Amino acid sequence: MVDHLANTEINSQRIAAVENCFGASGQPLAVPGRVLLGEGILTKECRKKPKPRIFFLFNDILVYGSIVINKRKYNSQHIIPLEDVTLETLPDTLQMKNRWMIKTSKKSFVVSAASLTERKEWISHLEECIRHLLTKTGRQPSTEHAAPWIPDKATDICMRCTQTKFSTLTRRHHCRKCGFVVCADCSRQRFLMPRLSPKPLRVCNLCYRQLLAEKKKEAEADHRQPEPIHSAVLGYEPSSGDDSDKSDDDKADHWPADTEFYTSEVSWSSFHS
């Protein structure tokens, strides 16, 4: 399919249309050899609640963003290199069906499709693209993945101390290492994890101790003294929000509460051939 579509006018038009929908806020997507293979709306399990997101599958990257006007305007564009992606099928829950996890070294998150068939189609195309890329580059599949964030509504109490109850005044925070929902007292430390960010990130007390122990062990193995680690970083105020959804987590949804995003008459998934 990739060889058939590469360097064709229809492929160039499709990519240009995606760029146009993201507008000036998006990155340029047209590069030699890149092919748009498919697109569709999936439900992404965000920090506060599941939300519809537009996804575009290229032969080398996965692009997704927030929907302002379907097929006309998207924002909050995110680009994921497929070489860094690992997929994991997940069981259904009462709230979400046809789920799977997209795992990368920087961010992992859960999405769900409108049907089992659609999920199989997405996973099949993703895995084929990943296999092709790894074969082409000679790289091994990624083994280190960022922990997915547990949704806020999954717990009313801190998942570490199991004592603090969350409320309007007692905020929820997320450990960037394990993804647990924790209170402020259980996540006062910061730790530099270059794989995730150039800035020290909020971590829970347990992960902080584990990370310190790992750093000390690495330093001893290298016959070096561990560098000082500062838990407080001047000028840095970490956010408890999901970075990928910070543009609309605290805004009113664009969709009415009773909107049905997935109906039997409409196929949201569309793979090109």
On whether residue 266 sits in a domain, the answer given is: no
State the pLDDT at residue 226.
Answer: 54
Closest CA to 33 of 51, 15, 20: 15
Inside any domain, residue 69 = yes
Percentage with pLDDT > 90 across the chain? 65
- Bigger pLDDT: 225 or 65? 65
Same-domain status, 53 and 164:
no
Structural domain span for residue 177 = 149-219
Q: What is the pLDDT of residue 245?
A: 47
pLDDT tens, residue by residue, 136-184? 988 888 888 999 999 998 899 999 999 999 999 999 999 999 999 999 9
Report yes or no on 118 lying in a domain. Answer: yes
pLDDT bucket at 264, cuts 50 / 70 / 90:
very low
Same structural domain, 63 and 130: yes
| Mean of per-residue pLDDT scores for the chain | 83
How far from the centroid of its chain's Cα atoms is residue 268's Cα? 20
Are both 138 and 154 inside the same structural domain?
no
Task: Show which of 219, 238, 254 is a domain's final residue.
Answer: 219
**Would you place residue 93 in the very low, low, confident or very high pLDDT band (cuts 50, 70, 90)?**
confident
**Is 122 among the domain residues?**
yes
Is 136 in the same domain as 173?
no
Residue 260 has what pLDDT? 35
Give a yes or no: residue 224 inside a domain.
no
Instruction: Please indicate, yes or no, whether residues 113 and 140 belong to a single structural domain of this protein.
Output: yes
Residue 11, helix vs strand vs coil: helix
Task: Residue 47: give its domain's CATH number.
Answer: 2.30.29.30
Contacts of 200 (CB under 8 A, 6+ apart): 190, 191, 192, 230, 233, 236
The DSSP secondary structure of 175-243, one letter per residue, reads -TTT--EE-SGGG-EEEE-TTT-SSEEEE-HHHHHHHHHHHHHHHHHTT-PPPP--SS-TT----SS-G
Distance from C-alpha of 39 to C-alpha of 55, rounded to nearest angstrom: 6
The pLDDT tens digits of the residues spanning 202-260 come to 999 999 999 999 999 888 887 655 555 443 333 323 333 344 444 444 333 333 333 33
Higher pLDDT, 269 or 195: 195
- Flag whether 112 is in a domain: yes
199 shares a domain with 85: no
Lowest pLDDT segment from 41-45, 110-114, 199-203, 250-254: 250-254
Q: Are 84 and 132 contained in the same domain?
A: yes
d(CA 147, CA 141): 17
Residue 112 pLDDT > 50:
yes
Domains of the chain: total: 2
